[in-house]
Structure 1
Amino acid sequence: MIKKIVLILLLLGFGKLHAQELNARVTLLAPQVSNISKPTLDALQKTIRDFLNNNKFSNESYKPQERIDCSFVITINSWDGGSGYMAEAQIQSSRPVFNSSYNSTLLNMSDKNFDFSFNDGATIDFSDQNYISNISALLTYYAYTIIGMDKDSFSKMAGTPFYKKAQNIINLAQASGNTGWRAADGLRNRFWFNENVLNPIFAELRNFIYSYHLSGLDQLTDNDKGLMQIVAALPALQQMDKQKLGSIFPNVYFAAKAEEVTNVLSKLNGQERMKAYNMLAEIDPANIGKYEGLKKN
């Protein structure tokens, strides 16, 4: 009987270990900071990685192969010798394409205000109801955003509950005085990215993310139907407010996807490629140079 109880506890522990949502790789760099030691950097890197990979950010259980691949490259620009770090970060996430070994990028976002305080040897505590520290808020915000983007790629608007969780983190963090949490902190920050993904103005872009991935990329290995589904989804994006195309959400998304979209749609015939090019040039003029490949034979 005791052996059975121990076995059950072990199985429960194993299940919990693999229930988390993220499979995060974390890299900490400090190329211009001479007063920070490698052991200190390595310890902080591990603490951040453990926070992202060991906390549960939803009530859903993920199998090991279902965890979302993501990466955080954090560059420390200065350190006060104590607990204060001035940093920036590049956050990326991807999802697998069905029946292939290819992973498609969903998020590739640069955060120039990734500043935080952290005492050597401490842990980073998690809470979605209280502001604990800026490093906790930053990591939690991006965890919810990554999960939201992933959900949107599998089911229409399914990321909304996670974007709202990220919005709550923003509200909690605004009183901290740290940069990036408020509308007044600039147009390309955490506040505005979250505002965009929850704004009905960008609903067509979120629906495109679903159509592009689930109805498009995931079908490419079987037939050409996936290609035509992607082309069919493009006209809806033309209905977006042209004045909003420079906003952070479409800007970040298309910057991450333009090259991939060009490579995928290059399989179309000449007439369909030009049709796709004309639509993409109107929808995303910032990356028109990347779409030029669609005009080639």
Structure 2
Amino acid sequence: MRNLLILLVFFATRFGFAQELNCNVVVNAQLTGNENFQIFKTLETQLNEFVNKTQWTKRKFKPQEAINCNIVINVTGLSGENFDASIQVQSSRPVFGSSYTTPIYNMNDKDFTFKYLEFQNLIYNENQYVSNLISVLAFHINMVLGLDADSFSKEGGDVYYKQAQRITNYSQQENYKGWKLEDGLQSRFALIDNILSPTFKDFRTVMYNYHRNGMDIMSQNTKDAKNEIVSALTFFKAMNANRPNSFLARVFFDAKAEEIEQIFSSGPNVEIADLIELLNRIAPTHASKWRNIKY
């Protein structure tokens, strides 16, 4: 009996929980003209294993709770062990009561250079700089975790954002772009600085209200859900008044613009004239999508 209990505990531990991410990593080296080099295939294999098997949090995730994401590394140049690239990170989460998944994060980080030797060990240390490759991946994964958590509970992403900030701080010791104040208004430094700033607290309110009070009740009461989404997006008005054309607003609408277009392009109809005016003011780069909305 004792051995049976031990075996049951083992299987519950081994198979009852999963890693945090269900992530597909692609290394695209077409722009180098040498996309068939074995090193790119090796890197892709290693990164898939690294991202999906590293324990990123202290939480135990059930298999159905694993966060779906995609990471595409577009390599533009290679010289020895030095890689020039950009990295696109996307994530989504399920919507309650449906098979639909809603996009959460869609970030194109162009300041990405790193060193890599084929078959080198890829190891993450949450408190210590290892390499720019590890730091950039860990930063964006913590952003994925943080935004996902914020969409389920109010300010639920704090622990992940603070880890992203810690990664930013210890990565500044090297001369890689994206980690410092002087690297511009759309850098990794700016992203985590903004999301933790009281000036942009409304952004996190939008993340929670849009998803929990809007998307997650869509299957139960579509009209109420759409009104809740309108109400959530209205929080951008005050944020835009304080900081026009903010990076966080761009990050949000890069992920959500197509979804917002689809939500309000079909019935039941709700009052959105003021919302359309606001969207054109705070997210003008998506004006073509806002024009497609009929109300």
Q: Aligned to 2:31, what secondary structure does the other structure show?
A: coil
Aligned counterparts of 1:111 and 1:178: Cα–Cα separation in 2? 13
Aligned counterparts of 1:13 and 1:188: Cα–Cα separation in 2? 41
Deviations 1:29-48 (CA, angstroms, capped at 9, x unpaired) = 11122456443222111111
Q: How does 1:214-225 map to 2 (within 5 A)?
A: 214-223=212-221, 224-225=223-224
Q: How does 1:265-276 map to 2 (within 5 A)?
A: 265-267=264-266, 272-276=271-275
Count of residue pairs brought into register by the alignment: 293
Match of 2:245 in 1: 246
Match of 2:187 in 1: 189
Q: Do 2:113 and 2:132's aligned partners in 1 also have CA atoms closer than 8 Å? A: yes
Aligned-partner residue type, residue 245 of structure 1: P
Match of 1:54 in 2: 53
Change (3 A) 1:271 1:227: closer
CA RMSD of aligned residues (A): 2.1
Match of 2:14 in 1: 13
Aligned counterparts of 1:57 and 1:261: Cα–Cα separation in 2? 31
Match of 1:76 in 2: 75
Q: How does 1:64-213 map to 2 (within 5 A)?
A: 64-81=63-80, 83-213=81-211
Q: Aligned to 2:171, what secondary structure does the other structure show?
A: helix
Aligned-partner residue type, residue 189 of structure 2: F
**In the TM superposition, what is the alpha-carbon distance from 1:7 to its structure 2 partner?**
6.0
Change (3 A) 1:241 1:14: same
Deviations 1:265-286 (CA, angstroms, capped at 9, x unpaired) = 2345667132331232233333
Aligned counterparts of 1:95 and 1:176: Cα–Cα separation in 2? 34
Output the TM-score relative to the length of structure 2.
0.92
Aligned counterparts of 1:261 and 1:38: Cα–Cα separation in 2? 41
**In the TM superposition, what is the alpha-carbon distance from 1:124 to its structure 2 partner?**
0.6
Change (3 A) 1:36 1:20: same
Output the TM-score relative to the length of structure 1.
0.91
Instruction: Specify every segment of 5 or more residues in structure 1 that has no aligned partner in the other structure, as ranges.
Output: none
Q: Do 1:245 and 1:251's aligned partners in 2 also have CA atoms closer than 8 Å? A: no
**In the TM superposition, what is the alpha-carbon distance from 1:146 to its structure 2 partner?**
0.3
Q: Aligned to 1:32, what secondary structure does the other structure show?
A: helix
Aligned counterparts of 2:103 and 2:111: Cα–Cα separation in 1? 23
